Chain A
């Protein structure tokens, strides 16, 4: 633990941040820099840092810190930045409820406690989709793990999930775990991906699968889990153009473990308690360009808003949320947005969902399907092009960043912009 001294819990904070991962810590730091006096980060682990602490591989921080770090290194940097700026980090604690500016905490040190707060930042991250979410039929033996849980077991608990592992889904966590297990001497029998394209970062496909001769089966999914006590084998099958398994062509894959890496879902229980407006596509709260949710004084950032592929972008988003929350706490209300962003052709979503024409914004978006040589286009609902940018290639796994400078929208006077990514 960073600091073993007893923690002093005050009755009132300017900003309370739920979650001590890179999003929460980054927001807390920014809130302090924006003028908030007392900022409290609540994290349920004995040490803040979030999921990064179990990501012992390198590849973090190239954008944010300009160098390549491991997950724990990145976490420690953002944690120390926050602590150095006087952020109050309460670990082994849980934000149970939030209502009318009062946060209910359950803390290993303080028990059930209530604190008043001027503003709140939600940074609870995400959870993994499970076997049940995708309804894989069959037995229910031991040996079916989400990839992140397996990562925690290997990297933090020092044990292995099995001897012979199949992986469903080519998300980044699954890819990284394929490599991690191969390095441990575990046989990774293959990665199976429902879609026709991989779902992880291109660099992970190369460094986690190709470099270790781990086969990637695209357009293939797991159609059965077998084994009474422990997984004995899984059945996999190719899928047709409607993603329906072709069972006549199924085959058996002997293994004792199935790792599921089929995506993350924003952890929005508190958002629901607060009745925040949620985006059905991102499954996170709808946010303004200040990262403010549909409730005044409640801000959000990181994977709780939408699933990011790089922590660096989380940190950037956290700075916006924290700056806004810190400002809010000392009486600066964020300026209202005047433009709504509408995801159009081949764009799944945009975050934030609204922007203003007089400030600079970074908009994150994801495409629905891969394209080479494409154009990112902003246009009015009646089809007048406001801005275009050429993109070399786009894949759903990699977020597209769009910097909106006031000059870009100088000639635009409407209240909605369509965002599309189309072939050139």
Chain B
């Protein structure tokens, strides 16, 4: 955290450094505005964004009558440029929405129609034979599918970190471990807000509420009661890289009214992810996985791809979507001057994030802020992915830098050099290292690399091992030997 900005009047404070908050910060970093990004978790992207499916939706799933329908397709088209600027992993692999019964026909037709209305190119019906020729692992009982070439898979953590780093390089102040405790209007009705946090009170002309599942709480702090979010939990299951190539495209079942159903996702990093569930829960912090969730996901995934085995599950986790009653995004100014909501950002929030950012910039502009772009986005070097390099590039890197001669995470072939670089770029927890480098994400789930990563982290930050945490707060990992007897 940079406390230098505490005493300065900010133009905009963005609450929430998930992918949406980071995208807004990135967009505003190109203006001359003074912007601060505050995040309650210890690193960016540690909330909803870390449990994301990593899909850039084709653009045709959401109805064009909705805000999210418009921002979905607009966002989709912006990711190529961001990827070129920030260098994160992104591939347009395409998707298939698969019909397993003749009853699914209307749903497929609706998708094609929506694509036409929204101008999403290349979306077309595929016959059973076409589908099975392209994706032989799919259930041969399928009757047809809709193919969309515009769908992509992205590394959602890299995207989030890249946006945040670029924003910070462009002058945005990032505060992590910084929950907003209260919002206080400043003297006059148009004077802005004081954002009260445990570490400082930040004065700002405007607040952008991008707090995910907590957006309703933040709105209430500003005296706005209408943001009624319901947390909808999604469990996801990650399968071993051994299955890489089982499917090449994102595989959707035919959608139901509330959910796009359980998908089979070939992630950018070569694993296969299956999920999510969609269960309304009471507690927005309830990120438990369940036996019934696993059973449902596996059964649904195997209906699409029968070769998927539960033996291949290497990780399970849950994420929370912030859902409003009308299922749409709620983005705009409020009756509280200078307070903007960016709420209800559920699927396809990741896809839409860059378009949401532009939309928010335009809203701020309409409210009198000078949001004209005055500079290009700050480029940030893409993280080193030793495992993705060819022999010659690996040889050159290892020759230059001894830290790239040691593998810290054997499953994902993450070098000590990559871990050191991630720390230099802001990772200060084990999960931060994991999301930035993939150390610990592989099949042994940190069994090999945990203590190695902890040791490098402790040395780089000049801390004892006992001060290293999994994800900040009370998530301590080890104790000093003298502690249990106390």
Contact = CB atoms under 8 A, between A and B. Distances in A.
Interface of A: 44, 92, 94, 96, 104, 106-112, 127-128, 130-133, 135, 137-143, 145-146, 148-149, 152-153, 156-163, 184-187, 223-224, 228-230, 272
B313 A132 contact: yes
B398 A159 contact: no
B315 to A, nearest CB: 5
A141 B476 CA distance: 9
B474 interface: yes
B81 interface: no
A145 to B, nearest CB: 8
A161 B405 contact: no
B474 A130 contact: no
A4 B146 CA distance: 63
B465 interface: yes
Residue among A106, A142, A153, A230 with max Cβ neighbours from chain B (10 Å): A142
A137 B289 contact: yes
Contacts, number: 137
B167 to A, nearest CB: 27
B316 A112 contact: no
B469 to A, nearest CB: 7
Interface in B35-69: none
B325 to A, nearest CB: 28
B395 A130 contact: no
A148 B313 CA distance: 21
Contacts of A132: 238, 313-316, 445
Given A108-B405, A131-B445, A159 B287 contact: no
B451 A153 contact: yes
B447 interface: yes
A139 B451 contact: no
B391 interface: yes
B479 interface: yes
Given A139-B287, A230-B476, A106 B316 contact: no
Given A128-B444, A152-B451, A160-B481, A108 B406 contact: yes
Given A137-B294, A157-B451, A163-B479, A228 B285 contact: yes
A141 B473 CA distance: 11
A133 B474 CA distance: 26
Contacts of A187: 484
Contacts of B294: 135, 137
Contacts of B413: 96
Contacts of A112: 391, 394-395, 398-399, 405
Interface string B235-254: 00010001000000000000
Residue among A106, A156, A157 with max Cβ neighbours from chain B (10 Å): A106
Contacts of B316: 132, 135, 137
B405 A107 contact: yes
Contacts of A160: 478-481, 483-484
A108 B317 CA distance: 35
Contact of B289 (A110, A133, A138, A149): A138
A106 B398 contact: yes
A135 B313 contact: yes
13 contacts: A106-B406, A107-B405, A111-B395, A135-B289, A135-B313, A137-B290, A142-B469, A157-B454, A159-B466, A160-B480, A162-B479, A184-B484, A228-B285
B477 interface: yes
A203 B448 CA distance: 28
Residue among A92, A224, A229 with max Cβ neighbours from chain B (10 Å): A229
Interface in B454-486: 454-455, 465-466, 469-471, 473-481, 483-485
Given A127-B448, A135-B294, A149-B450, A159 B405 contact: no
Nearest to A164: B484
B254 to A, nearest CB: 27
Given A44-B407, A130-B445, A185 B484 contact: yes
Q: How large is the interface on B (under 10, 10 to 19, 20 to 34, 35 or more residues)?
A: 35 or more
Interface string B280-292: 0000010111110
Given A137-B291, A145-B450, 5 more contacts: A94-B410, A141-B475, A142-B476, A152-B451, A272-B242
A153 B466 CA distance: 11
Residue among B314, B446, B447 with max Cβ neighbours from chain A (10 Å): B447
B447 A127 contact: yes
B307 interface: no
Nearest to A139: B288
B310 interface: yes
A133 B313 contact: yes
A227 to B, nearest CB: 9
Residue among A141, A149, A224 with max Cβ neighbours from chain B (10 Å): A149
B279 to A, nearest CB: 13
A202 B294 CA distance: 35
A130 B455 CA distance: 21
A315 B484 CA distance: 38
Contacts of B293: 137
B313 A108 contact: no
Given A106-B407, A132-B313, A229-B473, A158 B481 contact: yes
Given A107-B405, A128-B444, A135 B288 contact: no
Interface in B306-329: 310, 313-317
Nearest to B386: A106
B474 A229 contact: yes
Contact of B310 (A135, A142, A228): A135
B312 to A, nearest CB: 10
Residue among B238, B317, B398, B444 with max Cβ neighbours from chain A (10 Å): B444
Given A106-B407, A127-B444, A153-B451, A133 B479 contact: no
B119 interface: no
Nearest to B393: A112
A159 B288 contact: no
Contacts of B474: 228-230
Contacts of B405: 92, 106-112
Contacts of A185: 484-485
Interface string B339-380: 000000000000000000000000000000000000000000
B447 A149 contact: yes
A127 B485 CA distance: 32
A381 B287 CA distance: 53
Nearest to B413: A96
B382 interface: no
Contact of A94 (B407, B451, B471): B407
B11 to A, nearest CB: 34
B270 interface: no
A44 B413 CA distance: 12
A392 B294 CA distance: 43
A326 B77 CA distance: 59
A159 B402 contact: no
B399 A137 contact: no
Interface string B157-199: 0000000000000000000000000000000000000000000
A112 B316 CA distance: 34
B301 to A, nearest CB: 14
Contacts of B476: 142, 229-230
Contacts of B313: 132-133, 135
Interface in B431-447: 443-447
Which 8 interchain pairs have the tightest Cβ spacing? Answer: A111-B398, A142-B470, A229-B474, A159-B478, A229-B475, A142-B475, A112-B395, A130-B445
